[in-house]
A and B are shown apart, each in its own frame.
Chain A
């Protein structure tokens, strides 16, 4: 389902080029739960961003379900991000001017097509599923960090993506909340067969994964 070939990301900085990802070949089968681990600065986020269509590789290919995503046109790539990927960032990532329910419905609205009443019903249902049924009309600033993260997961699910990319979704949360949120993600992976790629520092979480990808200095550690 997901293949990376010779993937590189070099950042040009004032101190010269930094090779954040220095040639990675990777395959993750459909429906898998894969964990990416590595020390801070090893290039995990950079790799995820290239896989999710958020950051153009300096070299190499990312193929999702047979599509070389970085050869797509701008709009086709936008549609790919919209329809195929659910991205959960390392940090707060809700739009502050929108209520939770609007935030969750947003990807579906951007994609067009669906009627807004059905979209909103689905958004409300997803938020309910995440235990946020009472907070549909709340603004992001009015709920806790953990609740915000759940809303982000609900948003990632609204378009029923084939691939969920979660970049340390729980690193800034307490242990109990971390477990609850991970349970939600794993449930989605199990019940819907959605491929889940998770970046984590938590080795216990990584050990539950079907596949562990270990990165150091931008390359795979065998």
Chain B
């Protein structure tokens, strides 16, 4: 085995330029595949997170509210429009199993972040919430109390530290995980009571009208509801039920927004996948053609090896190892290139995706490693498959024919 490997390595070293070209070609292919797969899996799991972990199937907001698709699943865009907090509790709609109200106030000069940063203060109903606290990744070891705030993933402050909001002291209770939804990641979350208690401190800074605090900070008013469908209910049924029961509301369904995007994206991803498969297939063909030529070129030596007692398996093994070393190296190089490219374009990519409404969270480290390993393994398999047939065919021949250089 070691002997075959060293023979294979020496053979690679004989035509350095050719070996290098092979490695580069495989590197390009596996780099594309690695990058594509990582992005695909990232987007895919981001989408899955958006749908399953957040749990909201649709959202109900005031009729005139502008909704941003990215933020839709978690938060509404802050507007001056409000709904009654007990809207759903009063209506009792059968196709809705949960409706979590949220209050959102976009404020400036709050004391959080730098002076002119606007900050979303997001209030949730502790009893009904199913989109905020499931995301807690770390928290103080006690129940939440009035005056506690939870920070989105993009905000850093030690747990338990004091946070001044409009001069009032709050305690950092916990931090949320990354969601890929900007409003969620940059938000400062608190219970309704805590948010309402700030009403007196916020004046004039919020929404331009010069006067008092945003309407949503009034007791009993909310910016919108995140809705979970009852088991078996279709979005269409729920939408119909809500619109016919509640007045002055607008329903944003996963169907019409996220899942539309999701389907478009799925088509795109399938396209990418098909492209990746084609790319791999053509690389495999290329390796196969190349190794047919290499085998022909080395016929005499292979015959000689057979003549002095190399078994067929050893002949095939030597050629396959040679191919696998080259394509495996190509795979490793490709992954390295892919990582480099993703690093370089990370910011614009994430920005672009969030702009078109796709929440984006990178795959976690271990999974990227798995994708990388898979890319390298696939590249190696291509080498093995591409070289196997030519090597196997040559190994079948009589050594004397090979040495004499026929066929």
Interface residues of A (CB under 8 A from B): 49, 52, 54-56, 74-75, 78-79, 81-83, 87, 89, 93, 95-98, 106-107, 109-111, 155, 159
Let me know if B308 and A97 touch, CB within 8 A.
Answer: no
Residue pairs across A and B with Cβ atoms less than 8 A apart, 10 shown, are A54-B307, A74-B312, A78-B306, A78-B311, A81-B306, A81-B399, A93-B304, A93-B307, A106-B308, A110-B3
A103–B400 Cα gap in the complex (Å)?
19
Complex CA distance for A169 and B313, rounded to whole angstroms:
30
Shortest A220–chain B CB gap in Å is 21
Please pick, from A49, A93, A110, the residue contacting B309 in the complex, using a CB distance under 8 A: A110
Does B10 have its Cβ within 8 Å of any Cβ on chain A?
A: yes
* Bound CA–CA A6/B208 (angstroms): 109
Task: Tell me which of B11, B310, B398, B400 has the highest count of chain A C-beta atoms within 10 A of its own C-beta.
Answer: B400
The 6 residue pairs across chains A and B that have the minimum distance between CB atoms: A82-B309, A55-B400, A49-B400, A54-B400, A97-B10, A78-B311
Assess whether B403 is in contact with A54, with CB atoms less than 8 Å apart: yes
Instruction: Decide if the interface of chain B is mainly helix, strand, loop or mixed.
Output: helix
B residues 361-407 touching A (CB-CB < 8 Å):
398-401, 403
Whether the pair A54, B10 counts as a contact (CB closer than 8 A) is no
The answer to whether A55 touches B401, judged by C-beta atoms less than 8 angstroms apart, is yes
Please indicate the chain A residues that have their CB under 8 angstroms from the CB of B259 in the complex: none
Could you say which of B14, B301, B314, B403 has the most chain A C-beta atoms within 10 Å of its C-beta?
B403
Give B contacts to A, CB under 8 Å: 3, 7, 10-11, 13-14, 301, 304-314, 398-401, 403
Q: Which of chain A's residues have a CB closer than 8 A to the CB of B311?
A: 74-75, 78-79, 110
B309 x A83 contact (CB < 8 A): yes
Closest B residue to A78 by beta carbon equals B311
Inside 8 A of A93's CB, which chain B residues have their CB? Answer: 304, 307, 403
Nearest CB of chain B from residue A121's CB, rounded to whole Å: 17
Given A95-B304, A96-B301, A110-B305: 10 more A-B contacts, CB < 8 Å: A52-B307, A54-B307, A78-B309, A81-B308, A81-B399, A93-B304, A93-B307, A110-B310, A111-B309, A159-B309
Report yes or no: A107 in contact with B308, Cβ–Cβ below 8 A: yes
Nearest to B396 among chain A residues (CB) is A74
The answer to whether A89 and B403 touch across the interface, beta carbons within 8 angstroms, is: yes
Residues of B within 8 A of A155 (CB): 308
User: Would you give the shortest CB distance from A100 to chain B, in whole angstroms?
Assistant: 14
A169 vs B307: C-alpha distance when bound (angstroms): 16
| Partner among B3, B11, B306 whose Cβ is within 8 Å of the Cβ of A109 | B3
Interchain nearest-CB distance for A23 vs B (Å)? 19
- Nearest neighbor of A91 in chain B, beta-carbon distance: B403
Tell which of B7, B305, B398 touches A56, judged by Cβ atoms closer than 8 Å: B398
**Does B3 contact A87, Cβ atoms closer than 8 Å?**
no
Given contacts A79-B309, A110-B3, A97 and B304 within 8 Å (CB-CB)? no
- Given A83-B309, A97-B10, A97-B14, A110 and B314 touching (CB < 8 A)? yes
Q: Are A107 and B309 in contact (CB under 8 A)?
A: yes
Give A83's nearest chain B residue, CB to CB.
B309
Residue B10 contacts which of A74, A87, A98, A109 (CB distance < 8 angstroms)? A98
Q: Closest Cβ of chain B: how far from A197's Cβ, in Å? A: 15
Rounded to whole Å, the gap between the CB of B232 and the closest CB of chain A is: 65
Give which listed residue, B14, B312, B314, B399, contacts A54 with CB less than 8 A. B399
Q: Which residue of B lies closest to A74 (CB)?
A: B312
- Pick the contact of B308: A56, A74, A87, A96 (CB < 8 A): A87
B-side contacts of A159, CB under 8 Å: 309
Closest chain-B Cβ to A123's Cβ sits at a distance in Å of 13
The CA of A49 and the CA of B404, in the complex, are separated in Å by 11
For B314, what are the chain A residues with a Cβ–Cβ distance below 8 Å? 110
The residue that B312 contacts in the complex, of A49, A75, A83, A110, with Cβ under 8 A, is A75
Contact partners of A83 in chain B: CB under 8 A? 309
User: When A49-B400, A54-B403 are in contact, do A97 and B11 touch as well, CB less than 8 Å?
Assistant: yes
A93-B403 Cα distance, complex, nearest whole Å: 9
B310 contacts across to A, CB distance below 8 A:
78, 82, 110
In Å, the complex CA distance between A75 and B395 comes to 12
Complex Cα–Cα for A97 and B305 (A) = 13
Q: Which residue of B lies closest to A81 (CB)?
A: B309
Determine if A54 and B398 form an interchain contact, defined as CB atoms under 8 angstroms apart. yes
Complex CA gap A87/B13 in Å reads 28
Residues of A within 8 A of B13 (CB): 97
| Interfacial chain A residues near B309, Cβ < 8 Å | 78-79, 81-83, 107, 110-111, 159
* B306: A residues at CB distance < 8 A: 54, 78, 81
**How far is the CB of A6 from the nearest CB of chain B, in Å?**
19
Question: Which of B7, B13, B304, B307 neighbours the largest number of chain A CB atoms within 10 Å of its CB?
Answer: B307
Q: Which residues of B contact A96 (CB under 8 A)?
A: 301
Question: A54 to chain B: which residues have CB within 8 Å?
Answer: 306-307, 398-400, 403
Bound Cα distance A52, B309 (Å): 11
Contact check, B7 vs A97: say whether CB atoms are below 8 A apart: yes
Contacts of B305 in A (CB 8 A): 95, 110
Q: Which residues of the partner chain B approach A97 to less than 8 Å between Cβ atoms?
A: 7, 10-11, 13-14
B residues less than 8 Å from A74 (CB atoms): 311-312
Minimum CB–CB distance from B207 to chain A (whole Å) comes to: 78
- Given the complex of chains A and B, what is the CA–CA distance between A79 and B313 in angstroms? 12
A102 nearest CB across to chain B (Å) = 9
Contact B308 A82 (CB under 8 A): yes
* CB closest chain-B residue, reference A107: B308
Q: How close is B137's CB to chain A, nearest CB, in angstroms?
A: 55
A106 to B308: give the CA distance in the assembly, Å: 8
